[in-house]
Amino acid sequence: MFANPTDGLTTTQQTMLDLALACDLRVADPAQHDAIRSRHKAIRNQQDAANYIREVENKIHSRRKIKNLRRR
């Protein structure tokens, strides 16, 4: 059975969201940190958390691709 996307976060999901925040802060421009932290604090449901985590994953993948292109 699938969870309702509007349900609140479990402890495990909150932990994954916090990890995504740490990764996001690591790859983002420091000028964006306040906005990133504000967005993280506003996430309350599973769908918003999933969207945020997916965005952070995409940022990391894009950054890796750029680094690899520069090494060539």
Q: What is the pLDDT along the chain (72 residues), one digit of tens a residue?
A: 467 888 899 999 999 999 999 999 999 999 999 999 999 999 999 999 999 999 999 999 888 776 666 666
Q: For residue 45, give the nearest of 9, 2, 3, 1 by alpha carbon.
A: 9
CA 12 to chain CA mean position, Å: 15
Residues contacting residue 47 through CB under 8 Å, at least 6 positions apart: 5, 6
pTM, two decimals, is: 0.82
Q: What residues does each domain of the chain span?
A: 11-71
19: left (phi over 0), alpha (psi -120 to 50) or beta: alpha
